């Protein structure tokens, strides 16, 4: 077990394309870090540089106290779980697990013990004599994890390990990975494009975009305080609503519609306003509101997603299924639930409310009690 320090790491390909741009992440011992972003954001490249499968163009990667830039992958004391499992097809499950240990000259008895332990943990004991092709996708994934576990490495690297599984199995395996990592306490770096996986697994998540870090933070912090419009629209499902608005004193103008916020300080007059679909609620007649023209509805059971438009801009609201829908509904939102972003840079505009994390929670509690 060890900490991993990634310092100013860049990946520049032969053609001059910079896939990763000066990324720095400090991962504490035992921490579960998820790298998340759309395809082509450099998350896999970064992971592969830590693994030693790609050369590091600039910067340093340290595992423990050792700079491993020029260390062979097999010597880095890491284990990797691949998207397509990458099991050795000609070896039995037992040999798949034992291979890495055999090559390190681990005594036979020790190998047997470690394989047995990992197999018991992952419930693959009855498959040890089988070849990978005789296993299902989920079982193969377990074997791939077993291969990582038996090595007792300083860090686990996961490269989209659940992408090839069906939706149901993905949820099950997600839970198992989380539990296993907590039990073993091994530092983990996990790559995914699935924001839900990122939210549920991570101690801290790193949102990458275009080779750069957009935000690092605990899942809920990222969810509640996205650092940019990119993060706001990437993390959370449905994506955060983002509307261009003009500020006039304490009022926000969305085209022809106006929302009185009560308190707006030191914000530019042109800005992007964001709000979560679940923060919207149907306004009472006495309240100020935005009129949304309903286009279509997605029923999710526990809630329904209402898609529509406010002054021509698309908007999604997550409402209770009990609410009756008309062609146009009046929606409102608590001013504390609004996010503000710079229209040109997309960066979050800090305001007085941001510093008051505690009060924010209190405010939302009050709001739900009243509403």
Per CB under 8 A, residues contacting other proteins are 51-53, 72-76, 78-80, 82-90, 99-100, 103, 131, 133, 147
Residue 19 or 292: the one with the smaller Cβ distance to other proteins is: 19
Q: Tell me the C-alpha to C-alpha distance, in Å, between residue 178 and each of 32, 116, 123, 148, 187.
A: 9, 21, 16, 15, 12
SS3 call for 30: coil
How many angstroms separate the CA atoms of 99 and 103, rounded? 6
Please state the closest distance from residue 188 (CB atom) to other proteins, in A.
15
Residue 79 or 290: the one with the smaller Cβ distance to other proteins is: 79
Q: Is-contact 213 23, C-beta < 8 A?
A: yes
Give bridge partners of residue 26 from the DSSP assignment. Answer: 5
Query: Positive or negative, the Cα torsion across 333, 335, 338, 341?
Result: positive
Residue 35 or 329: the one with the smaller Cβ distance to other proteins is: 35
Residue 76 or 281: the one with the smaller Cβ distance to other proteins is: 76
Residue 82 or 178: the one with the smaller Cβ distance to other proteins is: 82
By C-alpha distance, which of 307, 313, 304, 277 is closest to 295?
307
Please state the closest distance from residue 207 (CB atom) to other proteins, in A.
25
Please state the closest distance from residue 297 (CB atom) to other proteins, in A.
42
Please state the closest distance from residue 68 (CB atom) to other proteins, in A.
13
Please state the closest distance from residue 99 (CB atom) to other proteins, in A.
5
Residue 128 or 157: the one with the smaller Cβ distance to other proteins is: 157
R_g over Cα of the chain: 24
Q: Is-contact 314 290, C-beta < 8 A?
A: no
Q: Identify the residue whose tokens are 């306490």.
A: 185
Q: How far apart are the two ends of the chain, measured CA to CA in Å?
A: 48
Q: Identify the residue whose tokens are 């997309």.
A: 346
How many angstroms separate the CA atoms of 234 and 227, rounded? 11
Supply 151's token pair.
Answer: 């090595």
- Peptide bond connecting 238 to the previous residue in cis, omega within 30 degrees of 0: yes
By C-alpha distance, which of 283, 274, 278 is closest to 371?
283
Please state the closest distance from residue 73 (CB atom) to other proteins, in A.
5
Give bridge partners of residue 309 from the DSSP assignment. Answer: 293, 314
Residue 85 or 230: the one with the smaller Cβ distance to other proteins is: 85
Please state the closest distance from residue 79 (CB atom) to other proteins, in A.
7
Please state the closest distance from residue 133 (CB atom) to other proteins, in A.
7
Residue 14 or 266: the one with the smaller Cβ distance to other proteins is: 14
Q: Is-contact 196 236, C-beta < 8 A?
A: no
Residue 83 or 332: the one with the smaller Cβ distance to other proteins is: 83
Please state the closest distance from residue 27 (CB atom) to other proteins, in A.
19
By C-alpha distance, which of 56, 163, 154, 249 is closest to 144?
163
């Amino acid at each position: 077990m060890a900490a991993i320090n990634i310092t100013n790491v860049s990946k520049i390909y032969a053609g001059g394309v910079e896939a990763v741009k000066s990324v720095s992440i400090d991962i504490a011992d035992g921490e579960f870090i998820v790298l998340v972003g759309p395809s082509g954001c450099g998350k896999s490249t970064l992971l592969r540089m830590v693994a030693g499968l790609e050369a590091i163009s600039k910067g340093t990667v340290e595992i423990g106290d050792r700079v491993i830039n020029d260390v062979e992958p097999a010597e880095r004391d890491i284990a990797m779980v691949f998207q397509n499992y990458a099991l050795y097809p000609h070896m039995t499950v037992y040999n798949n697990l034992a291979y890495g240990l055999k090559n390190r000259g681990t005594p036979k008895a020790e190998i047997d013990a470690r394989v047995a332990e990992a197999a018991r943990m992952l419930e693959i004991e009855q498959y040890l004599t089988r070849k990978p092709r005789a296993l299902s996708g989920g079982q193969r994934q377990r074997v791939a994890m077993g291969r990582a576990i038996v090595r007792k490495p300083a860090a686990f690297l996961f490269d989209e390990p659940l992408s090839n599984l069906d939706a149901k199995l993905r949820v099950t395996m997600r839970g198992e990975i989380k539990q296993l990592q907590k039990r073993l306490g091994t530092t983990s770096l996990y790559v995914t494009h699935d924001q839900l996986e990122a939210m549920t697994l991570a101690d801290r998540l790193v949102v990458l975009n275009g080779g750069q870090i957009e935000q690092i933070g605990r899942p809920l912090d990222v969810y509640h305080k996205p650092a940019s419009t990119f993060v706001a629209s990437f993390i959370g499902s449905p994506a955060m609503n983002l509307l261009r608005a003009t500020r006039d004193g304490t009022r926000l103008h969305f085209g022809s519609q106006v929302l009185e916020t009560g308190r707006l300080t030191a914000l530019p007059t042109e800005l992007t306003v964001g709000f979560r679909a679940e923060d919207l609620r149907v306004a009472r007649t006495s309240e100020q509101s935005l009129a949304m023209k309903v286009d279509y509805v997605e029923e999710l059971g526990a809630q329904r997603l209402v898609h529509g438009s406010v002054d021509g801009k698309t908007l999604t609201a997550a409402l209770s299924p009990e609410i009756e829908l008309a062609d146009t509904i009046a929606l409102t939102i608590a001013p504390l639930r609004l996010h503000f972003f710079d229209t040109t840079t997309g960066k979050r505009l800090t305001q007085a409310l941001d510093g008051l994390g505690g009060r924010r929670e209190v405010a939302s509690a009050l709001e739900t009690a009243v509403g």
